[in-house]
Structure 1
Amino acid sequence: MPLYEVETRGHIMIMWAEDTDAARAVVAESYPNEEILRLIKRPRDTWVISKAALGITTKGKLDPCTTARECLAKAEGDKVHAIRLFMHEKGVDLDQARKAIESNMVMGW
């Protein structure tokens, strides 16, 4: 079954579907008020998200994802507090910390 990438104004969805019509049907059922901006069949059966594209690098011993998740846990899910903790832990600027925390929130820390 092909892997599809579907983008709406509010979401990017990755899904397996029999064909383009089936992928459109999933979006229509899940997000009936959202217009499909882009729908493409992925060339492979894999989806990769680049940490570098998110502004997350693996310099040093600690994995930024682990650190971000620890900061989120300490902050009990409070994003702003978690960002401050991450900035303190990693010595990064506000934008780098925000990207790390938000990307880990999306992953379901």
Structure 2
Amino acid sequence: MPLYEVETTSHIMIACVDDEASARGFASANYPSEEVLRVSHRPRDAWVISKNLLGLKGTLDPCATARDCLAKAQGDKLHAVRLYMQQTGCDLDGARKAIESNMATGW
């Protein structure tokens, strides 16, 4: 079954569905108050996050603070970044990297 990347106003999700209409339906069912901004068919049957593109080099150590922020934000990346900045005093780029690296390791 193909993968579709679905971007809404607050989330980016990967859906394993048959077609674009089903991907839009998946987003609407899970986040009914959000507008679907983009639907893209993924060319392969895997989803890969590049640590190099995120600016993460070497071994990756999950951060308890970032994981806590993700849990409080219920997986909403933007809200988690704001919480992380508020709790640590980190700048936007550092907070984004901390949150995204913890999302990549499966918070």
Which TM-score bucket, shorter chain as reference?
0.5 to 0.7
- Please report how far the alpha carbon of residue 2 of structure 1 lies from its aligned counterpart in structure 2 after TM superposition: 0.7
- Which residue of structure 2 lines up, in the alignment, with residue 57 of structure 1? 57
Aligned counterparts of 2:48 and 2:95: Cα–Cα separation in 1: 21
The share of aligned pairs that are identical, in percent, is 39
Deviations 1:33-87 (Å, cap 9, x if unpaired)? 11111101111111111112212112xxxx1x22xx2x427x9836459858xxx
TM-score by length of 1: 0.66
Q: CA deviation at 1:100?
A: 3.6
Instruction: Classify the secondary structure of the residue corresponding to 1:21.
Output: helix
Structure 1 residues 7-18: aligned runs within 5 Å: 7-18=7-18
Deviation of the 1:31 alpha carbon: 0.6
Q: What's the C-alpha RMSD, in Å, of the aligned pairs?
A: 2.9
State how far apart, in whole Å, the 2-side matches of 1:28 and 1:56 are.
Answer: 33
Q: Is the 8 A contact 2:6 2:39 kept in 1?
A: yes
TM superposition score normalised by structure 2: 0.67
Between the aligned partners of 2:56 and 2:35, the Cα distance in structure 1 is: 31
- 2:68 equivalent among 77, 91, 94: 77
Unaligned 5+ segments in structure 2 are 70-83
Q: Does 1:101 align with 2:98?
A: yes
- The equivalent residue for 2:25 is 25
Provide the rounded CA distance (Å) in 1 between the counterparts of 2:64 and 2:6: 29
Call closer, same or farther: CA 1:43–1:97 in 2, change over 3 Å: same
Q: Which structure is higher in RCO with an 8 Å CA cutoff and minimum separation 6?
A: 2
Asked whether the 8 Å contact 1:56–1:99 carries over to 2, the reply is: no
Corresponding residue of 1:88: none
The unaligned stretches of length 5 or more in structure 1 are 85-92
